[in-house]
Structure 1
Amino acid sequence: MSPRDHGVPSIWQFFDPNSPWVLVHEGSIMGHFDYVPRHLRVGPWASLATIYIVIIVAKVIYWMPQKSSFHLDDEILSTHPIAYTSFWVYNLVVFFWMKFVLVSSMRNRGPWILFTYTIQSWTMLTIRHGLSTLAPFLPRKHLLLWINELLRFPALATASITFFFWNFAIAPAIYYNFDPKRRRQFLQFNLSFRLVQVHIFNIIFAIMNTIVVSAREFQFVDLWYGLAGAVGYAMLYLLVLDRVGVHLVRGMI
């Protein structure tokens, strides 16, 4: 049976000018997102939304720092923990712990969780812990050192957004809209091992890795990395996931 029979569009439909913007029936892939209001699944887009997206992308491109801003000077490189010190051991242990949580989550929920904001944030933070562990052994101009610094602010920002947005907005809203029985079920779900890791421990790991263990002042280039990453995720959501009927309104879970 072809992917189309299952409601899954082919890759060629993304580039076919004759294809509609929404490539699946009723904007819900295989019916999994029917709970999302129809107007959010099939549109149409508001004109102002399109203009806003274009302006944001243009601003990020315009604000791109000069090449010299991406240089790793001695001050930045000196923030990495020395090998075999307590902070270095922290990075090593937490890297393997976060990797364990990520792999076990993918086994239980499938690889599709990598499209969610929460898991992308967790993955970014996992990578940064791993690169921080490798940093003392890498030559001065190694690409991985630059990637590690690139991830510093985005890792902290996305973990902060996940922590505050889920624990103080989404979770309370869901809880108080349920009846007593479903409240107990949701509370049990929210306090499960995986969710406690990705929604509570994430902010602890982020602060430790980006502020405590390898402290330095944030610069404009760090903010730009964060903005560029946010725009990149938005483009993935709007240009790919939205078209195939994947609506991650519960993507923080």
Structure 2
Amino acid sequence: MTNPVSDHVDTNKSQTRKPDLAKVKVELRLFLSAFSVWDFLDPRKPWVLVPRGSPLGVFDFVPPVFREGPWAVLPIVYIASTVYLASFSTVYHCAKYGFENLPQGHYDAFTAPWYLNLAGFLWTLYVFCDVFVSGFGAASVATFTVQSYFLLCLRYGLSALAPFVESRKLAVVNELLRYPVLNQATITFVVFNAILAPVCLVCLVDGEKRKNFIKYCTNFRLIQLHCFNIVFAVYSGVWGSPQRSLQWTDLHAAAILTLQYGLFYIFILDRLGIHLYLIISPRTNVSLISWFLITAATLGLHSFWDDIIKKYGGYWDSSLTVAE
């Protein structure tokens, strides 16, 4: 979920001014250019590569317990166990069944669902590009929200391309993204709108800061990324592809992609002092709850979306030809 950045307030003029994104981008590029891949591999380097775990003082508001010091034991055990079990299960499942058990299909070109997939691709691509041009640029990809939105855009593109390219690999990738897109969009939508935003509103007692936060959260990009993302994900996963039951293969794909972000966060962003989601920092046992809930959500949403697809999917199947 995109990390909210409060607008600065000029106390002398009592006027609100927006952050200078151009300046922020320049400072960010200079900050990242100071590091190389070897810095993350060199055992002589400290784990946290920036002073006090706060680059340029941006994350000074994060309590030190979340950004400095060793990791707690229980989160380490849980994360390691989860990575091992997910990896072992995925390798075992793929070695035993491959992708032959994964139903594959797409709607023919120039049909109603195909046009909607094309429109979905063009719109999500526009929003994704807008994040780069008008937002924080490539740095936005470091957030779970934008990575999830990229998967959504990619699936729409593959669904629109499928009728023109007879490629089994493309069809497999398209179907493998079906549940991960639904899973990550649901997590993003619920966590931001039901947890993060309400908590921030309660904590922001200053009227001006609260007003700025509401204005920030309701701008075009964040509305698309945090609210309309679930609408586009539901169409893509439920109606935009032929109806089928979700398989264990879908669950493995979602688990691996979600773990990928979690590991990227704790092994890359955490070392750079970029604390977008401090509740998953493994330095305290609080993260144990967060990691468990993410795992439980991925498992539970698999059954939830499977039921939704069985009940409401296949809207177009009775009247249109489905290419297998």
The TM-score normalised by the length of structure 2 is 0.71
Q: Name stretches of at least 5 consecutive residues in structure 1 with no aligned partner.
A: none
Contact 1:72 1:146 in 2 (8 A): no
Query: Which among 202, 219, 234 is matched to residue 176 of structure 1?
Result: 202
2: CA distance between counterparts of 1:240 and 1:175?
A: 30
Query: Which among 112, 118, 122 is matched to residue 149 of structure 2?
Result: 122
- Residue aligning to 2:120: 94
Residue 167 of structure 1 and its aligned partner are, at CA, apart by 0.7
2: CA distance between counterparts of 1:87 and 1:236?
A: 35
Q: Which amino acid aligns with 1:45?
A: W
Q: Is structure 2 residue 81 aligned with structure 1 residue 55?
A: yes
- Secondary structure at the residue paired with 1:76? coil
Contact 1:9 1:24 in 2 (8 A): no
Deviations 1:67-87 (A, max 9, x none): 4644256x8233x11111011
- Residue aligning to 1:234: 262
- Residue aligning to 1:159: 185
Residue 14 of structure 1 and its aligned partner are, at CA, apart by 1.3
Q: Aligned-pair RMSD on alpha carbons?
A: 2.1
Matches within 5 A, 1:1-253: 8-64=34-90, 65-67=93-95, 69-72=97-100, 76-78=103-105, 80-108=106-134, 109-141=136-168, 143-178=169-204, 179-214=206-241, 215-249=243-277
Contact 2:128 2:150 in 1 (8 A): yes
Residue 6 of structure 1 and its aligned partner are, at CA, apart by 5.1
1: CA distance between counterparts of 2:202 and 2:115?
A: 42
1: CA distance between counterparts of 2:147 and 2:97?
A: 26
1: CA distance between counterparts of 2:171 and 2:96?
A: 16
Contact 2:54 2:273 in 1 (8 A): yes
Q: 1:134 to 1:68 in 2, by over 3 A?
A: farther
Q: Which amino acid aligns with 1:186?
A: F
Deviations 1:172-197 (A, max 9, x none): 11112212332222222222111111
2: CA distance between counterparts of 1:57 and 1:45?
A: 17
1: CA distance between counterparts of 2:185 and 2:262?
A: 17
Q: Name stretches of at least 5 consecutive residues in structure 2 with no aligned partner.
A: 1-27, 280-324
1: CA distance between counterparts of 2:209 and 2:152?
A: 32
Residue 249 of structure 1 and its aligned partner are, at CA, apart by 2.5
Q: Which amino acid aligns with 1:106?
A: F
Q: 1:249 to 1:140 in 2, by over 3 A?
A: closer
Identity of counterpart residues, as a percentage?
Answer: 37
Contact 1:159 1:203 in 2 (8 A): yes
1: CA distance between counterparts of 2:85 and 2:184?
A: 20
Q: How many pairs are equivalent?
A: 245
1: CA distance between counterparts of 2:224 and 2:125?
A: 12
Residue 114 of structure 1 and its aligned partner are, at CA, apart by 0.4
- Secondary structure at the residue paired with 2:107? coil
1: CA distance between counterparts of 2:275 and 2:146?
A: 15
Residue 30 of structure 1 and its aligned partner are, at CA, apart by 2.5
1: CA distance between counterparts of 2:186 and 2:199?
A: 19
2: CA distance between counterparts of 1:192 and 1:70?
A: 44
2: CA distance between counterparts of 1:171 and 1:185?
A: 13
2: CA distance between counterparts of 1:145 and 1:250?
A: 37
Contact 2:104 2:175 in 1 (8 A): no
2: CA distance between counterparts of 1:31 and 1:172?
A: 26
